[in-house]
């Protein structure tokens, strides 16, 4: 293996054991404001469409920022209905996603919905040996992103993520996520 995330023959290397336990799930604010949240006011507008999965950001959307990670968690009826985690290494421009890109840059996209996590890395070993194309694809365009304030405007175009569970199904996202600041 060479240090850029590839094998010596230039192919991508298989992922380490990445599973649901490796995915950060933020604490769920109760919306009352007592936990430092915004007293039930949504801090994000999520207008994503989904193919291969479904997620609802129709509840109160909380924005959590930690270092280079922006998370939007939607709370409805006292529970987490969906969460989108973005670990981004740049604050503007367009990112073309692939398994190799994630391994090389550390850019992570996680969608948690219905107890299932989808992420931007494949678990299909045939991809690593070059026998199949990488199913992880699409672009993220960062129009605005400030980790200091929690303000973001991010567009997803054909972003295909893989289920970390046994099925390894895929979910494709299109649309935007706009945040107006940190919830706490």
Q: Is the pTM of this model over 0.75?
A: yes
Alpha-carbon gap, residue 73 to 17, rounded angstroms: 25
Residue 154, judged by CB atoms within 10 A of its CB (0-12, 13-18, 19+), counts as buried
Side-chain-side CA neighbours of residue 101 (13 Å): 20
Closest CA to 86 of 77, 95, 78, 76: 95
pLDDT along the chain (184 residues), means of 10: 43 53 46 44 94 95 95 92 96 96 96 95 93 97 96 98 91 98 92
């Amino acid at each position: 293996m060479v240090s850029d995330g590839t094998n010596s023959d230039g192919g991508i290397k298989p992922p380490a054991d990445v599973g649901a336990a490796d995915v950060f799930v933020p604490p769920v604010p109760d919306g009352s404001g007592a936990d430092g949240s915004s007293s039930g006011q949504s801090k994000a507008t999520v207008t994503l469409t989904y193919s291969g999965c479904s997620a609802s950001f129709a509840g109160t959307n909380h924005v959590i920022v930690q270092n280079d990670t922006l998370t939007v968690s939607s709370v409805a009826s006292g529970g987490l209905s969906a969460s989108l985690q973005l670990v981004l290494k740049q604050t503007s421009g367009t990112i073309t996603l692939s398994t190799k890109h994630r391994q090389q840059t550390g850019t992570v996209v996680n969608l948690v919905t219905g107890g299932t996590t989808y992420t931007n890395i494949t678990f299909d070993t045939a991809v690593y040996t070059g026998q199949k194309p990488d199913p992880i694809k699409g672009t993220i365009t960062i129009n605005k992103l400030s980790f200091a304030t929690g303000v973001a405007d991010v567009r997803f175009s054909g972003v295909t993520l893989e289920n970390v569970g046994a099925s390894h199904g895929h979910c494709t996202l299109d649309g935007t996520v706009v945040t107006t600041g940190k919830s706490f």
